[in-house]
Amino acid sequence: MPPRTGTVVGIFGVLLGVILAVQLAFNFHGSSRANQFSRSLPLQSTRADKSATEDDIFNVGIGKADVTGVFTLVLFIIENPHKPDDTLLFYLGTRSRCWGYSCEKMVVLQGGLAAMGAEITLDTNLTNLASVRNPLPMLDQRGSQGPGPPTGLSFDTKDLVDGNINRSPYSYLANPEEERKRYQYDTDKTLSLIRFDRASDDKTTGILTFYSVHGTSLFANNTLVSGDNKGVAAYLFERAAKGDDRFAEGFIAGFSQSSVGDTSPNTLGPFCEDTGLDCKFEDSTCGGSTAKCHGRGPFFRELDQGTKSCFEIGRRQYNTAKEIYENMDTSAKRIRDNSAVKAFHVYQDFDGYTFPSPFNPRKTLTTCSAALGFSFAGGTTDGPGRFDFTQNGTDSPSTKNPIWRIARDVIHAPSKEQIACQKPKKILLDIGDLTFPYAWAANIIDIQVLRAGPLFIIVATPEVSTMSGRRWKQALVNKAKEVLGVSNPLVVLGAPSNTYAHYVTTEEEYGIQRYEGGSTLHGPNTLAAHVNLTLTYLPFLSASSNNHPDPGPYPPINSEKSLSFISGVVHDNPPIGKKFGDVLKGPEMGKTFRPGDTVNTTFVGANPRNNFRLEKTYTAVERQVPNTNRWEVVRDDSDWNLVYRWERKRPIIGTSEVTLEWTIEDDYYSLDNKKKLESGTYRLHYYGDSKAPVTGQITAFEGIGPAFKVEA
């Protein structure tokens, strides 16, 4: 079933929520001291000798939790408002890691992300998988495992060329030619991988990767809840690890984002859906409208709402990560203990922040209160906007439409100072000063960097464009050499993380005002501000430093004020003469199913909101153990090819149906699966929970479908 996930869309498309997935957690104590650990772990540019020595071992805690929330009758960021999601492809799991000698907390989120600006505890780092189809429940510490066993770390990289394209190449070309000539591609093609090996037996307990591609493979008309291509990559790696003696039981694969801002998984490029011709290069329009300009994934001709293209982009990331893993014993860099393992996490108010430019110290720059431009509403080729909005925020037809200006001024008219600060952005939503019922966008921004010897992880709050990421990482490389004495810094960037801050572009890209520039909240100097603050606090990561930075102004805690527009379940009822779990329609009688075929069973169902079934399952494919009456589970919610579809039939009475849909995987979908399908007798098993009228009591029930034959 499609991976579970979540998000909220606000007025005029304002992103009031953003999704979670993959990641790291140091033991952050930004409120009181710089983060320090008992061990220090630099990376040596030597082969990754798996024979551990005392100076390259430290404790690593690894955890994963099911974070799938409400997935019926909700809209996601990229969504057709007439098609609320009611289907589950496969569950979404967060992956987290705690490095150091005493890791007290892992991923903790108090309250949902229903409100932009909902904050995480200081002990936490959350990095987004950037799927736009992830409902999110409340999380707690149940998914963390705490401090783990002594572990060795290795690091390596490999280019994945066909895993992304630049969806705003016109903006990218605005960067200086001499700068662009330093790079072969207009997106970051490098996939970086950190491997965690348990010292006691050399078994790999986890991997963490960074690669720049948006989780926007699935189409806007899709109703499947999914972890998108990042979820696929993690699913494939974890599946391949089962039965492989090199991996520890409970192995976890984390696939996180990097410089994702202007990237797309729709690698064939954008085309006009009516003519089949290229979209207009400058603003991605077709006949002056953005609505018909769509990016095409590798399998765009499949009539599956982008599902196979999504799987393919995840498959490519998995393949590259697996290639890296297979060669790490002879090519990777081993993290060794000749420097401190530290981190800092502070806050900065970007409303009127004045600072010296990190790129030209003779210049003094200022950031602005948060605002979104007209091109923000133009959307992207992954999810086009509507009406007369385009990705040309300085000369879009919408900028001349009095309706939008009146609507903007009714909400909050920008001041002359704000207009000048955000220039050339033409402001559609001046949201930085809007605080009812809570802040519409973040002005107080997290600044965070993690260090393990020469390995530095920039934990960035916005979605960072390709060239922005390159400048940011290079600035840290230069400063680490100068201030920290690290001869060969290894720098990766994980984003978006912590408090969501929309996008960041270079100043030149900002001037073009496509979607990414229009979504850069704090004006043309946003990137420079992030880089300046990163470099300012870098000395606190010195191996000899016992000082800590001031944590800065704390952001508001909005979890108690978060609004939800998701209606509750009133009650469930079965049709007259039926009971919950009864089979309404089974597989075709007498048919033998083969790989590539799809099997369906429809049950009398109930609203899945009654029970999120976290760490459990709504669905199962069961195989009869030969010559017995016993059945074993061979597939569940975590499987890509098993889909759960819920359909409300009679809202007032409360009747609904659930269809379980299993596409029997062929060789393409069985990639590296050591537990491939066997011939035999199978059935589909549905787990549900109903809400009684009047009392509201929740009661669990099950539905078992008719048996059918499969010939593998």
Q: Are 432 and 371 in contact (CB under 8 A)?
A: yes
Q: Which residues of 236-264 are buried (b: 16+ CB within 10 A; e: fewer)?
A: bbbbbbeeeeebbeebbbbbbbbbbbbbb
Q: What is the pLDDT of residues 518-555, one digit of tens each?
A: 999 999 999 999 999 999 999 999 988 888 999 999 99
pLDDT for the residue 299: 96
Taking residues 12-32, report their average pLDDT: 27
Question: Percent of the chain beyond pLDDT 70?
Answer: 81
| Number of helices and strands in the chain (H, E) | 10, 36
What are residue 423's phi and psi, to 5 degrees? -55, 140
Residue type, 332: A
Q: Is 463 annotated as a binding residue?
A: yes
User: Residue 404 has which token pair?
Assistant: 């939008």
The DSSP annotation for 565-585 comes to -PPPP----PPTT--TT-EEE
Q: Which residues of 322-333 are buried (b: 16+ CB within 10 A; e: fewer)?
A: bebbeebeeebb
| Residue predicted with more confidence, 535 or 132 | 535
What is the reported pLDDT for 267? Answer: 98
Residue 258 has pLDDT above 50, yes or no: yes
Residue with tokens 């102004």: 553
pLDDT at position 123, please? 33
| Closest alpha carbon to 95 in 138, 134, 118, 61 | 61
Reading the block at residue 643, the tokens are 């889909």
Cβ neighbours of 293 (radius 10 Å): 25
Amino acid identity, residue 169? P
Average pLDDT over every residue of 374-389 = 95
Q: Contact at 8 Å (CB) between 268 and 221?
A: no
Helix %, strand %, coil % for the chain, to 5? 20, 30, 55
Q: What DSSP character marks residue 46?
A: S
| Residue 468, SS3 per DSSP | helix
Domain regions of the chain by residue span: 11-348+443-541, 583-710
Domain 583-710: give its CATH superfamily.
Neutral/alkaline non-lysosomal ceramidase, C-terminal domain (2.60.40.2300)
- What DSSP character marks residue 289? B
Give the range with max mean pLDDT: 55-64, 486-495, 523-532.
523-532
Query: At 118, which amino acid appears?
Result: A
pLDDT of residue 51: 52
Query: For residues 38 and 120, what is the distance between their CA atoms, to the nearest angstrom?
Result: 25
Query: What pLDDT sits at residue 567?
Result: 76
503 annotated as ligand-binding: yes
- In a 3-state reduction of DSSP, which class is residue 136? coil
**DSSP classification of residue 483:** I
Active site residues: 264
Using pLDDT thresholds of 50, 70 and 90, give the confidence band for residue 409.
very high
Tell me how far CA of residue 103 lies from CA of 67, 346, 524, in angstroms: 22, 19, 38
Q: Taking CA 267 as the corner, what is the angle to CA 261 and CA 269, rounded to the nearest 5 degrees? A: 90
Q: How many CB atoms lie within 10 A of CB 268?
A: 14
- Average pLDDT for residues 239-245, to the nearest whole number? 94
Beta bridge partners of 12: none
Q: How confident is the model at residue 25 (pLDDT cuts 50, 70, 90)?
A: very low
pLDDT of residue 121: 31
- Give me the mean pLDDT over the 59-81 stretch: 63
> Across residues 301-314, what is the average pLDDT?
93
Q: Is the separation of the CB atoms in 466 and 172 below 8 Å? A: yes
Q: Are 642 and 1 in contact (CB under 8 A)?
A: yes
Beta-carbon neighbour count of residue 649 at 10 Å? 12
Is 84 a residue whose pLDDT tops 90?
Answer: no
Residue 509: half-sphere exposure toward Cβ, Cα within 13 Å: 31
Spatial contact of 98 and 27, defined as CB atoms under 8 Å apart? yes
Q: What is the DSSP letter of 591?
A: P
CB 703, CB 604: distance < 8 Å: yes
Residues making up the chain, counted from first to last = 712
Q: What number is the average pLDDT over the span 187-200? A: 96
- The per-residue pLDDT for 629 is 96
Residues 6+ apart with CB under 8 A from 505: 171, 261, 262, 465, 467, 468, 516, 517, 520, 526, 527
**Whether residue 142 has pLDDT greater than 50:** no
Q: What is the C-alpha separation between 203 and 41, in angstroms, rounded?
A: 20
For 420-435, what is the mean pLDDT?
A: 97
Checking if the pLDDT of 264 tops 90, the result is yes
Q: Is 31 helix (H, G, I), strand (E, B) or coil?
A: coil
Secondary structure (3-state) at 159: strand
Residue 418 has pLDDT above 50, yes or no: yes
SS3 label, residue 253: strand
Residue 139 contacts residue 42 (beta carbons within 8 Å) = no
Which of 20-24, 225-229, 437-441 is modeled with the greatest confidence?
437-441
Of 157 and 52, more confident: 157
- Read off the pLDDT band of 374 (50, 70, 90): very high
| Residue 649 three-state SS | strand
DSSP 557: -
pLDDT at 26 over 50: no
Q: Is 687 annotated as a binding residue?
A: no
Q: Are 343 and 255 in contact (CB under 8 A)?
A: no
CB contact at 8 A, 367 and 443: no
DSSP state of 42: P
Per-residue buried b or exposed e for 496-517, using 16+ beta carbons within 10 Å of the residue's own CB: bbbbbbbbbbbbbbbbbbbbbb
pLDDT at 135: 39
Segment 450-457 shows an average pLDDT of 90
Residues 6+ apart with CB under 8 A from 95: 21, 22, 23, 62, 63, 64, 206, 208, 234, 252, 253, 254
Q: Which of 522, 464, 193, 369 is nearest to 475 (CA)?
A: 464
The token pair that represents 396 in the structure block: 């879009």
Distance CA 640, CA 311 (A): 9
Higher pLDDT, 450 or 23: 450
Cα-trace Rg, the chain = 25
CA distance 625 to 243: 20
Asked whether the beta carbons of 130 and 230 are under 8 A apart, the reply is yes
pLDDT band at 107 (very low <50, low <70, confident <90, very high): very low
Q: Which residue do the tokens 């140091």 mark?
A: 26
Collapsing DSSP to helix, strand or coil, 13 comes out as helix
pLDDT average, residue stretch 84-100: 46
Q: Is 89 a residue whose pLDDT tops 80?
A: no
pLDDT surpasses 60 at 74? no
Residue 180 CB neighbours (<10 A): 13
For the segment 646-654, the average pLDDT, to the nearest whole number, is: 91
CB 76 within 8 A of CB 133: yes
Interatomic CA distance for residues 489 and 500, integer angstroms: 27
Q: What local confidence, expressed as pLDDT, does residue 1 receive?
A: 45
Instruction: Give the model's pLDDT for residue 61.
Output: 79
Q: Please tell me the least confidently modeled range out of 277-291, 355-369, 563-577.
A: 563-577
Q: Long-range contact list for 171-176, CB < 8 A, 24+ apart?
A: 171/262, 171/465, 171/505, 171/509, 171/512, 171/514, 171/516, 171/517, 172/262, 172/465, 172/466, 172/467, 172/509, 174/506, 174/508, 174/509, 174/511, 174/512, 175/467, 175/506, 175/508, 175/509, 176/508
Strand partners, 449: 344, 458
